[in-house]
Structure 1
Amino acid sequence: MQFLHRIISELLENHKDLSALDIVLPGKRPMVFIKRILQEKQYQGLLPNFVTIDELIAELSEDLEIKGIALWLFAYRTYQKVDASEDFSGFLKWFPTLQKDWDDMMKFSENDQKILEWMLDEERIKNWGEDLGDEDNARKRNLNFWRKMNEFLPLLKSDLRKENIATSGMIYQEAFSKLEAFAKSTQNHFVFCGFNALSRVEEQLVRKLLQWNKAETYFQADKYYIDDARQESGKFLRETITWKEFDLYRNFNWIDDQFSQPKNIKTYEVSGNIVQAKVLPELLKKIPKEELSETALVLLDENLLPAVLDSLTSVESVNITMGFPLKNLSFSNAIKKLFYLQKQQEKKSSSYYYADVLPILEELPNDEIDGAIIQDFIAKIEERNIVYISKNLLAELLGKLSYFQLLQKPESTQNFLDLLIKFCYELKFKELDDIQYENVAHFEKVFKVIKNQLLPYKIDIKIETLEVLINQLVNTESIDFVGEPLAGFQIMGLLETRLLNFKNIILLSVNEGKLPLGNTQNTYIPFDVRKNFGLNTFLENDSIYAYHFYRLIQNSENVHLLYNALSSGVNTGEKSRFITQLEMESPHNIEHIIIENTSEPISQELMKIEKNEAVMQLLNEWKNRVSASHLVTYLYNPIDFYLNQILKTRETNEIEEELSQRNYGNLVHYALQFLHEPIKGKILSINVLEDLLQKVDESIEDAIEKLKHQSEFYERGMNFIHKEIAKRVVRNIVEYDLELVKNGSALTIIDLEKEINCDFYLDENRTDKISFYGFIDRIDRLDGVTRVIDYKTAKPKKLTVSLGKNKEEKLPELFFNDDYKQALQLSIYKYCITNSLNIKPENVETAIWSFAEVNNGPQNLNFIDIEDSEVEDSIRNLIAEILNPDVPFEEKEKVSW
């Protein structure tokens, strides 16, 4: 800590007793380092008084600061005197931004009222020069806004002063009026250390104390950016040097020449944010262990902290001097989603959308009892494919959940706030890890703060407004880490590096928009007005960040600058201009390194499973129950066959927001079964079929019940269209049958969903057998011919099979080609029907009735110059390959579904 060492050394030379000094710092972090330095120098007196510049200003003002929710509520009460028509929710959309602008006016300008009047006059001039036209237009709204602000803000200042409270800006304004008297009367001696930016009030405080010889100043500056007027990093210090207080009797301390000394600077172009964290272990390997305590990792993007910590498992001692944003933790996300659910309930209270409920249940901490209730809930809504959950059903399935009340529409916002406080309090007694506990405890504190602040005010707030209040507090909260700042590898944000120096520096996310932040100010005051009245603009903010960057480098020996070169989301993939400035202007030879994604490439090898003894045993068990769909699955992909049919794995159920192809097929199947079941075994007549046409709607409703779907699922969007198409398909099938009967054909439906069980022998001696099973959608008799019909949602494919001159070559492996999967399935059905019902094969037809080509009717399977016995041999060959221990299950490169 070279800079702090120099300050303490000089103070000890000039002051025997440091207890008489007030050391004023930009932040509190350097205090612990100063204390260690005093210990190293064996200082035996009383410690000096440490104070931040904000604390000193507040002490000088003697006002009690009001901020956050307390200020918003107080201000809203005042604003109602100006405009009683705007509710609190609308007020919150603009006041926090305006309040920051107002504080800036009081901190950086002589008179905030002048700026308010300027803004009003500017809008008046704009409106004077053009026809305002409609009352409700942007110009008119801006004019009215600043007219109200010229009345509201002075009134708010007056109301606050009556209560002896003040905003941050008012505190600075009050302190400014007392500077002269304070500097004259104070008996304290102040030491200002390491400042690189001061407001108007702060600058005057320092200068007044210098004039009365009651202060010393120590700045950390370097010739590199002080002597070069183009360097924005030296902007503040170059102006400070010109103060009249620095003369022959008082020097400006200090301007060094460290930046131009030899340094090892490397920039790393990295593809992706997380990859930056993966690079860290490699960088740390090059740093000796004894130098780790002289090494700092500076995160310019706080969201990288979890990934960084995961990558530092080999580092023994890590100290984190930054908080992790509360808003990024899982419990925070669950609370956000809970509020979204409640807002949806305000809009429509009839049902719950499943995707609004599930994330809340999954992200909130749950004990075993709640976990079991949630698992049962998920299983039931997935089974029934419930997209919109009624209030009664939610109560039935989740009523015993410990926090069920949070999912219901509350009686009032205050009641909901009480429930949240109670929930967080009880949650802390459950098994939580440290981070979860801190997360919950922070939210409990936030909820209590809001409740206590709302009590004095009779404001009727909505759930949406409560959410805004909570977000405003949570967005500024972070979970602080406890560590040893004096030892180990240091992780910190850029502002935490103030006054500190490190031998080795690693910066992550050195991208434009992160360093510097650029023009990201949220303000109602235009750039030119800010510039005219001396308020900070993004240019001043950029120069502050530039100083932090260059100051950090100037005393370092090894500097590693990593930036994300990948453009995705809000990230532009553009490196910080500070890197470009270093490369073009600095005296250093900077090494540029490009790092590709360090993650291992995805293996392109196809899966392969050998048929060992255990697999063969499972295959022997499979022979007892073989379906045609098993063989079709094998044709698609042998690995899927092995996983699904041999190992009996199943894909997890998922709720369908849009009807799947499989359930669309089931919808038509069940509807046809409803219509045909009562007339099974009867010769169909015109009257019977015409009666069926009147029952199509009823059949679809029955099918929906069998699918366990809600009727609401089909009331709108694509599902309504699927339902109407299903009706048309069912109607067309009945009409097709009706046309046959009208033309004089005799049609009888013999069976529906006919279960088949038959033996199939793999050898001539009929000793090695398998057992086929399955369900045939429809068996009917048309003019004396038995038809085996399989319904398909897809179009028929390769139902006419002709092998031509290459028959002898192609026939043995006919069914090894998945183009003939439908032919394979129908062939198995024909074999089982002819054997189980003792029907001659020549009197049996097999066909596919496609819903996609429903008007074409059943399309028959037709083998040309291929005997049934030859077809059966081809089936045997396929099954023989599946059972062959020398043929492994291999994944197909392309799977065609």
Structure 2
Amino acid sequence: MQTFIASCLSEIQKKDNNISNHVFILPSKRACLFLKQEISKQTKDFQFLPTILSIEDFIENLSLLKTTNNTEVLFYFYEIYAKTNEESFSQFSKWAQVLLHDFNEIDRYNIDANNFFNNLSNIKQLEHWNLKNDPTPLIESYLSFWNNSYNLYKELKKILLSKKIGYQGLIYREATKQLEHYLQNTNKHHYFIGFNALNSCEEIILKELLENNKATVYWDTDNCYLKETNSNINFFFNKYLKEWNYYQKNPFLIKSNYFKNDKTIDVFPIAKNIGQLKKTGEILSKLSINELKETAVVLSDESLLIPLLNSLPTNINSVNITMGLPLKDTPLSAFFESILQLHIKQNNGAYYYKNVQEVLFNNYSQILLKNDDIVSINDYINKNNVLYIDQNKLNDIDISSETKELFTFLSPQIDFTIDYLQKLVFSLKEKLDKQNNNLLDLEYLHRFHQLFNQLESYQKNFKALDSINSLHQVYKELLSSDTLDFKGEPISGLQIMGMLESRALDFKRIILVSVNEGILPSGKSNSSFIPFDLKVAFNLPTYQQKDAVYAYHFFRLLQRAEDIKIIYNTESDGLNTGERSRFLLQLESFLQDNHSYNIHSSTPKIINNKKKLKKITKNESVAKRLKEIAEKGFSPSSLTQYIRNPLDFYTQKVLGLYEDEMIEEFVAANTLGTIVHNTLENFYKPYENNILTKEMVYKMQQNIDSEINTQFQEQFKKGDTSKGKNFLIYHVAKRYVTNFLNLEIESLNNYKEIIIRKIEAEFKVPVQFTTNNNYPVFISGKVDRIDEIDGQLRIIDYKTGKVEPRELSIKNWNDLTQDYKKHSKAFQVLCYAYMINTEKQFSNPITAGIISFKNIKDGFMAFKENKSKLITQDTLKQFENQLEGLIKEINNINIPFTEKEV
């Protein structure tokens, strides 16, 4: 296969063997490298290399201006805008980039700016025209802005030209103005190779050079497509053939008739992006080293670069990547973002705890800081329930001065902030230098050092950068546009590139990834203030031209390729429609008889492995621990935990592993329960063994506020209950206690006598049955309340969660220790009844049940066996049989802890 660049060079050298005095202009710098390689192959005699430029470099040289980045242009634009408008830079930059993009398009297409902005202003006036009402001040301001838009454009252009710099569009417009002078002062011939979609300025330049016999243009398309006059593949070529006077007299030079050659085209519909990349890796794994040298992986979605690199097979030892790694995707960017967020979100000199923890547990913080300091700060936050941590609180913690410096509050002076960030860079560098194995991290650091130097330069030259918010805005802008370029041999090994980087390049083997509608082409989304109709009127590009550009690139890649793999995502998720690109349908219409076109059904291998339930066998250590638990006493909650899932019982009770203590930003359900329980305990404890009166309850009601406050301070520690969700939960706690005391008064009205026997009574009793072990077994627990109501003993368990009466009813005793969801509440209250009866056997039947604060209307919900609410000795004997089986199972060393299916 002869590549397009090779065929062009071969034809040029047939006409003129000495090409040193010529100028070669190609679409990209990558294409320039391939041309240099081809010259070295085809040139036998010694001669100087000709001038080889990308189109951007050629236009810049022609314009006599230097290209500046968008951020610097943004600052100049803000200086102009701020003269007549009061708006912060951070707000301005959110929309100004879109307007600058429109300025760029107007210049690239050499539009009469004055005429254009007059039309745009008139359109905006019509959009807000109203016969009945005068425009509001907001609308007036909006229309005034568009009336002044041409002046803004003109002023920006003036200041940039005075500094001999420009954005891309301005440089293109100025290049057309310098063209006449350039033509008069050059005798070199220009070869334009591999172009397709030209903007108006490029068209002017090429036409002038052609008319003056100082240029030759080699277009890269195929005769197969060129015959299709209505095809969007040749949208631009048809335009040039029709509109350029030069082609009325001269031939249209194309260098391809290869599409009709033998081709194998395999299409792979694959689910999910990861599936696409795994398939790509599978295809590459079957290629030899020589085959890989003639292969290119083209990513329609360039965000898949890093996942692709992680999916490359082991047979690939040389890769050339034309795309840079965006700096925002490096791990170090997360560190600096967490530092900036720490200070942006600070509240009156205090840091939000989540921002502090995000900094603490970043990998780079753990390089910078002592581990003991990280643990100390985190423990202080969690144990004291600190939502905001200020300098005073930091001083209370025993940490090094180095760590305190990391959490130094940023000064309002922006230069202090940039200096602070640079200090972090150098501190990290010092630490990484000592480790001697972090070359990639050091490369990241170097690029961030350059970025902060750029910020420092902007801060000195532009007044707009005057706050941490504006700094953050510019930082993100630079971060998103800057890349970490991969270094290596540019024309060896497997080539990985985006669609635009493939211009003028040819490969024998192509793997195209993400050939989906909405990605290739990208669709109608367009960030612009210019209405579609106005774009059409002034011949500005719309989504239609953009689609034509991508159609050309897609089909041009296939022209000389012999082995083509096309992969697309079949899943509809996020912005992806799961629809194959329209270009695949178009491709089918161009297929030749000698083309092998295959659509493969690719589905992931499904391994039908039924989940194996985990089992933990009991050894001597476990048996010893079970003995300790048994002698201390099984609690009702631990027994119900075993019923729910034995593995959780093993993890928490046997191993003693619990979830880390976490800060409560909002009052947790268990904390709310503790607050309500403790409040009622303090209210009722003084009245044990006393007859309850209404006066006692009235006194309790008067003290609700003070007691709830005390309990929140003890349980929620330094958490804030003055606003937001916690404020609501605080009042929920008061409402729970108030409702309960109202229920108590209602009970006093309905019954003759209520005697408070025990409040938060603790029990530890031996089981009444023998086990297979040689040690005693106890059950223990704390009963919220035991009272006597008109002579009937009653056991009460408080629940702040919702409980329904049906959860305390049982019909079949065998279900009690089998179904956690239905019977856990009944099991608990029966445990309490069993313990109390063991300590002192009932002479009369009792009742036991739950009062649910969330379901207070049902009052006391008693345990029921069938329909009887009384717990007799026969009831307890039935319960004891179930309890015996459960405890024997737990303590039996031959029965493993087996996970239950959820």
Provide TM-score, normalisation by structure 2.
Answer: 0.88
1:526 aligns to 2:527 (yes or no): no
SS at match of 1:795: coil
In structure 2, distance between residues paired with 1:337 and 1:132: 49
Kept in 2: contact 1:191–1:216 (CA 8 A): yes
Q: 1:492 aligns with which of 485, 491, 497?
A: 497
Amino acid at match of 2:679: A
Find out whether 1:192 has 2:199 as its counterpart.
no
Deviation digits for residues 774-813 of structure 1 (CA, Å, limit 9, x no counterpart): 333334566777655432334265687776xxxxxx6677
SS of 2:781's partner is strand
Residues 581-626 of structure 1 deviation map (CA, whole Å, 9 limit, x = unaligned):
1134543563223434557678544444455666555544543332
What is the SS of the residue equivalent to 2:565? Answer: strand
Q: Verify the 8 A CA contact 2:844 2:872 in the aligned structure 1.
A: no
The residue identity in structure 2 corresponding to 1:508 is: V
Which string of whole-angstrom CA distances, capped at 9 and with x for unpartnered residues, describes residues 190-231 of structure 1?
222211122333233333333443333322220122111122
In the superposition, relative to structure 1, how do residues 152 and 690 fare at CA in structure 2: closer, same or farther (>3 Å)? closer
Deviation larger for 257-266 or 733-742 = 733-742
Q: Does 1:675 align with 2:683?
A: yes
Deviates more, 1:457-466 or 1:560-569: 457-466
Where 1:192 maps in the other structure, the secondary structure is strand
Residues 1:268 and 2:275 aligned together: no
Q: Distance in 1 between matches of 2:476 and 2:134?
A: 38
The partner residue of 1:473 within 467, 474, 478 is: 478
Give the aligned partner of residue 763 of structure 2: 756
Q: What per-residue deviation string (whole Å, max 9, x for no partner) do you get for residues 811-844 of structure 1?
A: 67754454443443344434444555x5656587
Matched, 1:725 2:726: no
CA contact (8 A) 2:192 2:218 kept: yes
Paired letter, 2:898: E
| 1:645, distance to aligned residue in structure 2 (A) | 2.3
Q: Is 2:708 the counterpart of 1:700?
A: yes
Query: Where does 1:227-242 land on structure 2 (aligned, <5 Å)?
Result: 227-241=227-241
Return the match for 1:568 from 573, 586, 594: 573
Instruction: Find the counterpart in structure 2 of residue 806 from structure 1.
Output: none
- Pairing partner for 1:590 from 593, 597, 600: 597
Indicate the larger mover: 613-622 or 565-574: 613-622
Q: Give the distance between the partners of 1:329 and 1:599, measured in 2 at CA.
A: 34
Equivalences for 1:191-590 in 2 at 5 Å?
191-241=191-241, 243-245=244-246, 251-317=251-317, 318-336=319-337, 338-345=339-346, 348-349=347-348, 352-363=351-362, 365-367=364-366, 369-387=369-387, 389=389, 392-393=392-393, 396=396, 402=403, 408=409, 410-431=411-432, 433-459=438-464, 461-587=466-592, 588=595, 590=597
Structure 1 residue 296: deviation in Å?
1.0
SS at the partner of 2:767? strand
d(CA) in 1 for partners of 2:738 and 2:86? 59
Structure 2 residue aligned with 1:100: 101
Q: Is the 8 A contact 2:667 2:716 kept in 1?
A: no
SS of residue in 2 equivalent to 1:829: helix
Aligned mates of 1:766, 1:100 — CA distance in 2: 82
Q: 1:798 to 1:78 in 2, by over 3 A?
A: closer
The alignment yields a C-alpha RMSD, in angstroms, of 3.5
The answer as to whether partners of 1:796 and 1:859 remain within 8 angstroms in 2 is no
The change in CA–CA distance for 1:661 and 1:410 in structure 2 (over 3 A counts) is same
Query: Does the Cα contact within 8 Å between 1:69 and 1:450 map onto a contact in 2?
Result: no
CA-CA distance at 1:711 after TM superposition: 5.2
Compared CA separation, residues 34 and 821, structure 1 to 2 (3 A):
same
TM-score, normalised by the number of residues in structure 1: 0.88
Query: How far did 1:11 drift?
Result: 3.7
Q: Which residue of the partner structure matches residue 48 of structure 2?
A: 46
Sort the Cα spacing of 1:403 and 1:215 in 2 relative to 1 into closer, same or farther, 3 A: farther
| Structure 2 residue corresponding to 1:891, chosen from 882, 891, 899 | 899
Shift of 1:470: 1.8
Q: Percent identity?
A: 29
Q: Letter of the aligned partner of 1:69 in structure 2? A: T
Given the alignment of the two structures, is residue 777 of structure 1 paired with residue 779 of structure 2, yes or no?
Answer: no
Match of 2:799?
792
How far does residue 311 in structure 1 lie from its aligned partner after superposition? 1.3
On the 8 A contact 1:800/1:863 being kept in 2, the answer is no
> Post-superposition shift, 1:847?
4.1
CA contact (8 A) 1:813 1:877 kept: no
Report the Cα distance in structure 2 between the residues aligned to 1:319 and 1:521, rounded to whole angstroms: 31
Question: What is the SS of the residue equivalent to 2:461?
Answer: coil
Q: Deviations over 1:58-94 (max 9, x none)?
A: 222223344423322223333345x244443444333
SS of match in other structure, 2:516: coil
Decide whether aligned partners of structure 1 residues 479 and 396 sit closer, same or farther in structure 2, where only a CA change above 3 A counts. Answer: farther
| Matches of 2:482 and 2:510, distance apart in 1 | 27
- Structure 1 residues 644 and 233: CA distance shift in structure 2, 3 A: same
Q: 1:696 to 1:254 in 2, by over 3 A?
A: same
Offset of 1:632 from its aligned partner?
A: 0.8
Quick check: 862-871 or 307-316, which moved more? 862-871
Is the CA contact 1:321–1:492 (under 8 Å) kept in the aligned structure 2?
Answer: yes
- Structure 1 residues 731 and 400 mapped into 2: Cα distance closer, same or farther (>3 Å)? farther
Alpha-carbon deviation of 1:629? 1.7
Alignment length (residue pairs): 880
Give the Cα separation in 1 of the matches to 2:137 and 2:657.
63
Change (3 A) 1:781 1:123: closer
Find the aligned partners of 1:821 and 1:507 in 2 and give their Cα distance: 58
Q: Is the 8 A contact 2:845 2:872 kept in 1?
A: no
Deviation at 1:234, TM superposition (A): 1.4
How far apart, CA to CA, are the structure 2 residues paired with 1:66 and 1:820? 73
Contact 2:513–2:568 (8 Å) recurs in 1: yes
Shift of 1:280: 1.8
C-alpha spacing 1:713/1:503, structure 2 compared with 1 (3 Å): farther
Q: Which amino acid aligns with 1:182?
A: Y
**Structural mapping, 1:787-866, within 5 Å:** 788-793=795-800, 794-795=802-803, 815-818=817-820, 819-836=822-839, 838=840, 842=844, 846-854=848-856, 856-857=859-860, 859=862, 862-863=870-871, 866=874
Q: Distance in 2 between matches of 1:176 and 1:764?
A: 99
Within the candidate set 77, 94, 100, 2:79 is matched to: 77
Residues in 2 aligned to 1:601 and 1:335: alpha-carbon distance in whole angstroms: 45
Q: Distance in 2 between matches of 1:756 and 1:315?
A: 69
Classify 1:387/1:131 alpha carbon distance in 2 versus 1 (closer, same or farther; 3 Å): same
Does the 8 Å CA contact 1:382/1:654 hold for their aligned counterparts?
A: yes
Higher deviation after alignment, 265-274 or 671-680: 671-680
Partner Cα distance (2:190, 2:19) in 1 = 11
User: How far apart are residue 737 of structure 1 and its match?
Assistant: 5.1
- Distance in 1, matches of 2:137 and 2:590, equals 53
Give per-residue Cα distances to partners, 1:322-378, cap 9 Å, x unaligned: 112222344334544554554444xx5375444444334434611353554334433
Aligned residue for 1:430, secondary structure, equals: helix
Aligned residue for 1:484, secondary structure, equals: coil
* Contact 1:268/1:560 (8 A) holds in 2: yes
Q: CA deviation at 1:665?
A: 1.5
Q: Where does structure 1 lack aligned partners over 5 or more consecutive residues? A: 804-809
Shift of 1:654: 4.2
**In structure 2, what residue type is equivalent to 1:891?**
E
CA contact (8 A) 1:777 1:791 kept: yes
State the alpha-carbon separation in 2 of the partners of residues 110 and 789 from structure 1. 84
* Contact 2:340/2:472, CA 8 A, preserved across alignment: yes
Distance verdict in 2 for CA 1:357–1:567, change over 3 Å: farther
Quick one: distance in 1 between partners of 2:294 and 2:554? 17
Deviation at 1:668, TM superposition (A): 0.9
String of CA shifts for 1:837-864, please: whole Å, max 9, x gaps. Answer: x565658764434334446247467335
Partners of 2:590 and 2:18 in 1: how far apart? Answer: 45
* 1:807 corresponds to: none
The one-letter amino acid of 2:290's match is E
Whether the 8 Å contact between 1:627 and 1:772 is mirrored in structure 2 is yes
Q: CA deviation at 1:460?
A: 6.4
